[in-house]
Amino acid sequence: MDIVEILEDLDHEQRLTVINQLEEEHASDTLEEISPNMQREIISSLKKEKVADLIDMMTPGQAADVLSVLTLEEQEAIMELMDEENLNKIKSILEKRQDTILNLITERYLKAQPDETVETVENAYPKRAKGKDEIMYIHVTDKDNTLLGVIDVKELLQADSQALLGDIMNKNLITLDKESSIEEATKMFSRYGFRSLPVTDNDNKIVGVVSQRDVVKLTLHFSE
């Protein structure tokens, strides 16, 4: 049974106790995953500073999804305490002005060089994955940040330990352009079934990654 299922079986005070005892990163993930009603209930009983810290750890799409269950007054009070880095993206999503996918990207993803060995990346995986939003794909880039290929972590674990990433990576790249719309991203995820997609500029340099979960949740939320 995961933490979300456990929270569903607890009363309000017990839920607060659990959330307050979790490490911040785990608490942030949990807050994003629970139902809107439970989100409102828990947020209303936490200090706004703590809520802001937890939401700051989310992707812009996740943050907007959580904030959207609150009143405008509550949203503004919490956003005043949040890191300014992603606030414009979050506000744009909340105002339903997400013209391009750039509002949903995260820059916290896994990246590696083509001349690294499978063994090196496997051994460093726990450290590299810590604090990242997307950890199921390794994005292989050159020193100029040009995207060369992508490796599913499952494929990495099955590869020869001495193989170079450049030799096993998938070079048939499926990417989103930084000008792609949310609607275009939805269609891409539906067609290919990936958990996330890299977003590149006109020079094929990776600018971030967008998750299927963020796109689907926002699409469903704003279609209601």
Domain spans, the chain: 3-97, 109-223
pLDDT of residue 5: 86
Write 121-126 long-range contacts (CB < 8 A, 24+). Answer: 121/156, 121/165, 122/156, 122/157, 122/161, 125/153
Considering the segment(s) 109-223 as one domain, its CATH architecture is: Roll (3.10)
Mean pLDDT, residues 197-217 taken together: 91
Taking 80 as the threshold, does the pLDDT of residue 218 lie above it? no
The two tokens of residue 195 are 């958990």
pLDDT of residue 186: 87
Taking 60 as the threshold, does the pLDDT of residue 223 lie above it? no
pLDDT of residue 220: 64
Same fold, 3-97 and 109-223: no
**Highest-confidence range of 9-13, 44-48, 94-98, by mean pLDDT?**
44-48
Chain centre distance of CA 134:
6
pLDDT of residue 1: 47
Under the banding of pLDDT at 50, 70 and 90, the label for residue 42 is: very high
Under the banding of pLDDT at 50, 70 and 90, the label for residue 56 is: very high
Q: Which residues contact 165 (CB under 8 A, 6 or more apart)?
A: 112, 113, 114, 115, 116, 117, 118, 121, 138, 140, 149, 151
pLDDT of residue 54: 95
Closest CA to 176 of 208, 213, 219, 144: 208
Q: How far is CA 92 from CA 66, 111, 162, 214, in A?
A: 14, 28, 45, 15
Mean pLDDT, residues 80-109 taken together: 82
What is the CB neighbour count within 10 angstroms for residue 174?
13
What average pLDDT does the chain have?
89
Mean pLDDT, residues 194-214 taken together: 93
Under the banding of pLDDT at 50, 70 and 90, the label for residue 95 is: confident
Mean pLDDT, residues 204-212 taken together: 94
175-201 residues labelled b (16+ CB within 10 A) or e (exposed): bbebebebeebbebbeeeebebbbbbe
Closest CA to 154 of 170, 166, 176, 142: 170
CATH of the domain spanning 3-97, picked from 3.40.30.10, 3.40.50.970, 2.40.50.140, 1.25.60.10: 1.25.60.10
